[in-house]
Chain A
Amino acid sequence: MIAPTGGFWSAGSILLVLTLLGFGGFIWRGWTLFRYLRLGRVRDSDRTDQPARRLRDELVVYLGQRKLLKRPYRIRGAAHALIFWGFLVITYGTTDLLLEGIFGLRLPGTETGVYVWTVDLFAVAVLASIGLAAFRRLFLRPPHMHVALDGYVILGLIAALMVTLLLFENAGIAAGLLRTGQATPPIAAVLPIRYPGESSAVVFYWSWWLHVVTVLAFAAYLPRSKHLHIVTTLPNVYFRSTRPRGALRLIENIEEQESFGAATLRDFSWKQLLDGYTCTECGRCSDNCPALATGKPLDPQKIVLDIRDQLLREGDALLARTDATGTAPAHQLESKPEELWACTTCAACVEVCPVTIEHIDKIVDMRRYLTMMESAAPPEAQRALTNIERAGNPWGEPREARGEWAAGLDVPTLAERPDAEYLYFVGCAASYDRRNQRVARALAAILKAAGLSFAILGREETCNGDPARRIGNEYLWQQQAQANIETFGRYGVRKIIASCPHCFNTIANEYPQLGGRYEVVHALPLVEKLIADGKLRLRDDAGTAERHPVQPAAPNEEGDGQQGQGPLPSEASGARTPGVKEKVAYHDPCYLGRHNGIYDEPRRVMDALSGVERVEIEPHHRERGFCCGAGGGRMWMEEKVGQRVNHRRIDQLRAAQADATKVASGCPFCLIMLEEGVGAKGLREQVTPVDVLELVHDRLIRPPGAQTEARSDEVEHSGPKRGVPPSEGRN
């Protein structure tokens, strides 16, 4: 098309002024927002390492729109991707329009057939997607999306851009304004519009100008709206944390600091504030939050937006007072303690956020302030912290009793066998909780049957510190971690097995922050490997024939909901005697699954067991797994508001219609929560919670001479001894 500006000295200069106004408005506001970012005083040093990985993330997450296209958001995600890709394509054309309109310059390729086809196809696709987006907002009312005027303005502006684009192309073709050699825009050309008389040139003129002015108005509006995410997602993805997801940020030189955690806007890092600019208010985090779903006062989206809105509101005042330490009451953060304490750190929000916002870090930073500065953790949580401090476990059970679960099992301590290859880090739950002691005994029997050389620490082990760190007591976490690292060092520990995902996550992902680097494996991937390598002999359900080692199944594609439908390996190999199978649902522990990406190994272990038909708790499995309610230190806090998270989990299990008679997990806290949920709902007869390790143990063929004490039907004490000792004072 020949631009209707008539060259620079005609209307081109006017367009230049308009362009400068539009982009000037963008830069003006953008500069202010950039200065607000620098209010965040906390150093965030690990944001520029691994550039190759960061560039890859840009390609996949930003350009590839990968995180938008996850279930169950595929259709709306695809609509968004079309709008976004359309934006990229059409921005090229817009730049061309402006350059030509002002200076008469052209960008290469804009006259080719490929380009005009691409532009027209995207223009139509974007219009259709806008229609879908508007329909959703008007009629489907997404429960957690912020549907406000801003959203409609943005949709309207984009729609106006597409309509004016197609219109000026069509009118331009009718008016014969195609440049010689320019390919004809194919879709615009066939639009059935009739122009009386000479009006096609007039329509071209006005629709062209309307298109260009809309672009410029949009540029000025952009940084004043949530649509800014189209710009900020670029740095937000690039500078996303490369820490393992399960690792919280270390407070360095903690003994020399004077304040801890976040109480004001200045107590965040620039990246945490950038998260707020990037939030699109889509509400996916809220859709998937187990706390919000069960009626708690936490809404992860609100946490992000509260910080952003406060920054936009108070940024000028804070910038004006450069000396201010941000302690004035007006600048205290608005998130309420009851919101912050409701978080289970399950990472459903982090997993699903399309623009890589880091919700958990903010919540934990604010908890750190409450716990370490104000001593304002909930009293039950403080009791758990005191118990960790004094007894090395949150239950407050005697330190001396830590190794007693192994009595009679002939499990050596490292002191007794310092040359053992593996340290089995048992963890507090499996050491003290009666139910989980059975899991520890099962694992010990499995490891023995596989002939692994391992030992435990017994009373020399202390809590890994996970609950303390997530309750916000970084100091106590560092003390616990250092104590363990020192003990590991004394014995020259290199390889560690953990049966608790929290122990696993903390030792594998967080101890390196304090210099503790080990080869850490969770029990289920280890057992999977032992089975695959033929080191474990398992009975089939007839109880006699030996099972063939399992071929590891091909890793499942993410999120297809197809797992558990395919034939079991035993059926495929035809080695198994047909028999009645029990249906066992797998519950993904958050600190195995979302935090560490261990989804397939536990499933493969289950698939290797005869008599087990693995079923899924549709649709809440794998990345969409629903927390048991115990993470983030919630295990140690009362849950009085709304439905209990674990009860919701049992509801989901029953609603999945998989008729599971067992629900298997790989985490002691999940097991405790599932047991409580099943009991409270009166479903003990219908569903039995187990650990996957117990299922393996039930089918174990022990080599001759192995110990056999680890019976899962062992007689129990009359009641749990946990909790309050008889003396009145503390505990």
Chain B
Amino acid sequence: MRILVCLKQVPDSTVRVKVAPDGKGIVTDGITWAISPYDEYAIELALEHKDADPATTVSTVTVGPARARDALRQALAMGCDDAAIVVGEASGLALARALAAFVREAKPDLVLCGKQASDDDQGFVGVALAEALGWPHVATVTRFASVDGGPAGSFNGVEVWKEIEGGHEVWRATGPVVLTVQKSAKEPRYPSLPGIMKAKKKEIPERELSALGIDTSAPVAEVIAMQPPPARGNGVILKDGDTAALAAELARRLRDEAKVL
């Protein structure tokens, strides 16, 4: 089976995000970038399939600025076979079209995406990619397995475990399909050192977004303002007085200051 994982490079979750002066984005200077967490689960799912069936190939692709190569290196270090980057800025529908153009050339049997990116939480690109390809789509996937049958090495579709409230459903796709992946019990693997070293030496072929010949004039919804949550004040420890006085003071504060009573 040939699997393609589409991934996005996002600010690492340890980064303290600051709103940029224009109020529409964040300050990106000097921050640490990482693979979006759900995309890491997608990679892990693909690599588990490869562990079980060595005939599987796992490729990755990203559309983004040149720094996104680091995310691809990380994916290679984890064990992906190859990686490609489409350099350029695109989002939403245009991004989905760019990926679709890449998928049509690469012809994978299966496309995996994280169910949403951790920076914008839109959950849009995977679904839009399926639409652009005219492929079916299954969301919140936690497991998949090949369907047996047909000539050796051929792709007969996949059975897919899809998480739903309180349980899961099993779906079957008979042809190529886009899966958007949910967090699963198996944590994404930590790259081995030989894996990191090999990944450093691998070629990452580069395409220009403009060379894909796609229509980037998609209808646009854009961020016009960004606000951090209000700063949290310090907690207070009540110390003075006996238990009754402390309880009364606590009740007063909860009622008058916190207004929760």
Residues of A within 8 A of B (CB): 254-255, 258-260, 372-375, 377, 379, 382, 385-387, 390-391, 396-401, 473, 475, 715-719, 725, 727-731
* A374, A379, A399, A731, most chain B CB atoms within 10 A: A399
Given known pairs A399-B32, A727-B13, A731-B14, the reply for A260 and B234 (CB within 8 Å) is no
Closest to A730 in B: B37
Given A716-B237, A728-B183, A729-B13, A260-B188 contact (CB < 8 Å): no
Taking A715-B235, A725-B13 as given, write out 5 further A-B residue pairs in contact, using a Cβ cutoff of 8 Å, ordered by the A residue number.
Answer: A255-B197, A400-B16, A401-B16, A729-B40, A729-B118
- Give, as a whole number of angstroms, the nearest-CB distance from A281 to chain B: 35
Residues of B within 8 A of A374 (CB): 192
Q: Contacts A391-B32, A717-B235 hold; do A375 and B37 have CB atoms under 8 A apart?
A: no
- With A715-B236, A727-B118, A729-B40 in contact, is A398–B192 under 8 Å at CB? no
Q: Which residues of A contact B36 (CB under 8 A)?
A: 729
Task: Name which residue of chain A comes closest to B18, CB basis.
Answer: A400
Tally inter-chain residue pairs, CB-CB below 8 A. Answer: 84
Chain A residue at smallest Cβ distance from B41: A729
CB of B152 closer than 8 Å to a CB of A: no
Contact: A375 with B194, CB < 8 Å?
A: no
What's the nearest-Cβ distance from chain B to residue A359, in Å?
24
* 9 CB < 8 A contacts A-B: A260-B194, A390-B14, A396-B14, A400-B16, A475-B196, A716-B237, A729-B13, A729-B183, A731-B13
Do A715 and B237 have beta carbons less than 8 Å apart? Answer: yes
In the complex, chain B residues whose CB is within 8 Å of the CB of A399? 14-16, 32
Kindly identify, within residues 175 to 211 of chain B, every residue whose CB is under 8 Å from any CB belonging to chain A. 183, 187-197
CB of B161 closer than 8 Å to a CB of A? no
List residues of chain B with CB within 8 A of the CB of A397.
14
Give the interface of B toward A (CB within 8 A): 12-16, 32, 34, 36-38, 40-41, 118, 183, 187-197, 234-237
**Which residues of chain A are within 8 angstroms of B193 by Cβ–Cβ distance?**
254, 260, 372-373, 473, 475
Taking the closest CB of chain B, its distance from the CB of A617, in whole angstroms, is: 30
Quick check: B16 and A390 within 8 Å, CB to CB?
A: no
A385-B16 in contact (CB<8A) = no
Residues of chain A with a CB closer than 8 A to B189's CB: 375
Q: Are A373 and B190 in contact (CB under 8 A)?
A: no
Given contacts A382-B190, A715-B236, contact A390 B34 (CB under 8 A): yes
CA distance A374 to B191 in the complex (A): 9
* Residue of B with least CB distance to A473: B193
Report whether A398 and B16 are in contact in the complex, using a CB–CB cutoff of 8 Å.
yes
Say yes or no: A385 contacts B14, CB within 8 Å. Answer: no
The residues of B that contact A255 with a CB separation of less than 8 Å are 197
A398 to B12, CA, bound (A): 10
Contact residues in A for B191 (Cβ distance below 8 Å): 375
- Inter-chain CA distance A718–B237, complex, in Å, is 9
Which of B14, B15, B41, B234 meets A715, CB within 8 Å?
B234
Q: In the complex, A386→B235 CA distance in Å?
A: 30
* Inter-chain contacts of B236 with A (CB < 8 A): 715
Q: How far is the CA of A260 from the CA of B32 in the complex (A)?
A: 28
Roughly how many angstroms separate A728 CA and B236 CA in the complex, as a whole number?
29
| Distance between Cα atoms of A715 and B237 in the complex (Å) | 7
Closest 3 CB pairs of A and B: A729-B37, A718-B235, A391-B14
Q: Given A715-B237, A716-B235, are A377 and B13 also a contact pair (CB < 8 Å)?
A: no
Shortest distance between the CB of A454 and any CB in chain B (Å): 26
Q: How far is the CB of B193 from chain A (nearest CB, A)?
A: 4
- Which residue in chain B gives the minimum CB-CB distance to A726? B13
Q: DSSP class of A's interface residues: helix, strand, loop or mixed?
A: loop
Contact with A727, one of B37, B40, B190, B235 (Cβ below 8 angstroms): B37
Report the separation of the CA atoms of residues A715 and B234 in the bound assembly, to the nearest whole angstrom. Answer: 8
B192 lies within 8 A of A391 (CB): no
Nearest Cβ distance between residue B33 and chain A, in whole angstroms?
Answer: 9
Majority-rule SS of B interface residues: loop
Q: Which residues of B contact A382 (CB under 8 A)?
A: 187, 190
A-chain residues with CB within 8 Å of residue B194 when the two chains form the complex: 258-260, 372-373
* Residues from chain B with Cβ under 8 Å of A391 in the complex: 12, 14-15, 32
Chain A residues contacting B13 (CB-CB under 8 Å) are 396, 725, 727, 729-731
Query: In the complex, which residue of chain A has the Cβ closest to the Cβ of B196?
Result: A475
Please give, as numbers and ranges, the residues of chain A lying within 8 Å of B234 by CB-CB distance: 715-717
Given contacts A398-B14, A729-B41, contact A375 B190 (CB under 8 A): yes
B34 CB contacts on chain A under 8 angstroms? 390, 730
Q: B233 to nearest A CB, angstroms?
A: 9
Q: Which residues of B contact A715 (CB under 8 A)?
A: 234-237
CB-CB < 8 A to A260: which residues of B?
193-194
Chain A residues whose CB sits within 8 angstroms of the CB of B237 once the complex forms: 715-716
Q: How far is the CA of A680 from the CA of B237 in the complex (A)?
A: 21
Q: Hey, which chain B residues are within 8 Å of A254, CB to CB?
A: 193
Which residues of A have CB within 8 Å of B183? 728-729
Least CB distance, A728 to chain B, in whole angstroms = 5
Nearest residue (CB) in B for A728 is B183
Q: Closest approach, in angstroms, between the C-beta of B209 and any C-beta of chain A?
A: 26
In the complex, A587 Cα to B32 Cα: how many Å?
38
**Nearest CB in chain A: distance from B121 CB, A:** 9
- Of all chain A residues, the one with the shortest Cβ separation from B114 is A729
Query: What are the residues of chain B within 8 A of A375 when measuring CB–CB?
Result: 189-192, 195
Of B12, B34, B183, B235, most buried by chain A (CB within 10 Å of CB) is B12
Nearest-neighbour CB distance to chain B for A424, whole angstroms, equals: 23
Q: How far is B190's CA from A728's CA once the two chains are assembled, in angstroms?
A: 18
Question: What residues on B are CB-neighbors of A396 within 8 Å?
Answer: 13-14
CA distance A391 to B237 in the complex (A): 31
Given A396-B14, A729-B13, A730-B40, A386–B196 Cβ distance below 8 Å?
no
A346 to chain B, nearest CB (A): 26
Bound-state CA distance A428–B134 (Å) is: 51
CB B212 to nearest CB in A, in angstroms, measures 29
Looking at the assembled complex, report how far the CB atom of A398 sits from the nearest CB atom of chain B, in whole angstroms.
4
Cα separation A391 to B183 with both chains bound (whole Å) = 22
Task: Give the distance in Å from the alpha carbon of A56 to the alpha carbon of B91 in the complex.
Answer: 71
A261 to chain B minimum Cβ distance, whole angstroms, is 9
Q: In the bound complex, what is the Cα–Cα distance between A285 and B33 (angstroms)?
A: 45
Residues of A within 8 A of B14 (CB): 387, 390-391, 396-399, 725, 731
Q: What's the least CB distance linking A401 to chain B, in Å?
A: 6
Distance in angstroms between the alpha carbons of A172 and B16 in the assembled complex: 90
**A484, B196: Cα distance in complex, Å:** 22
A727 to B38, CA, bound (A): 11
Q: Contacts of B38 on A, CB cut-off 8 Å?
A: 728-729
Residues on B with beta carbons closer than 8 Å to the beta carbon of A386: 190
- Chain B residue nearest in CB terms to A382: B190
Interface hub of A385, A390, A396, A731 (most chain B Cβ within 10 A)? A390
Contact of A379 among B187, B195, B197, B235 (CB under 8 A): B187
CA distance A488 to B84 in the complex (A): 38
Q: How far is the CA of A386 from the CA of B15 in the complex (A)?
A: 13
CA distance A156 to B14 in the complex (A): 65
Q: Find B12's partner among A373, A390, A718, A719 (CB 8 Å cutoff).
A: A390
Residues of B close to A727: CB separation below 8 A: 13, 37, 118
Chain A residues near B190 (CB-CB < 8 A): 375, 377, 382, 385-386
Q: When the two chains form their complex, are residues B37 and A728 in contact, meaning their CB atoms are under 8 A apart?
A: yes
- Which residues on B sit within 8 Å (CB–CB) of A716? 234-235, 237
Q: Considering the complex, give the chain B residue whose CB is closest to the CB of A401.
A: B16
Docked complex Cα distance between A175 and B234 (Å)? 97
Asked if A398 and B118 sit within 8 Å, CB to CB, the answer is: no
**Distance in Å from the Cβ of A368 to the closest Cβ of chain B?**
9
A387: chain B residues within 8 A (beta carbon): 14
In the bound assembly, the distance between CA atoms of A391 and B32 in angstroms comes to 8
How close is B151's CB to chain A, nearest CB, in angstroms?
35
Bound CA span A731–B187, Å: 10
Q: Could you tell me the distance between the alpha carbons of A725 and B118 in the complex, rounded to whole angstroms?
A: 12
CB of A398 within 8 A of CB of B37, answer no
* Chain A hits for B235, CB < 8 A: 715-719
Inter-chain contact A373/B37, CB cutoff 8 Å: no
Interface contact A373-B15, CB-CB below 8 Å = no
Min distance, Cβ A679 to any Cβ of chain B, angstroms: 16
CA distance A391 to B193 in the complex (A): 19
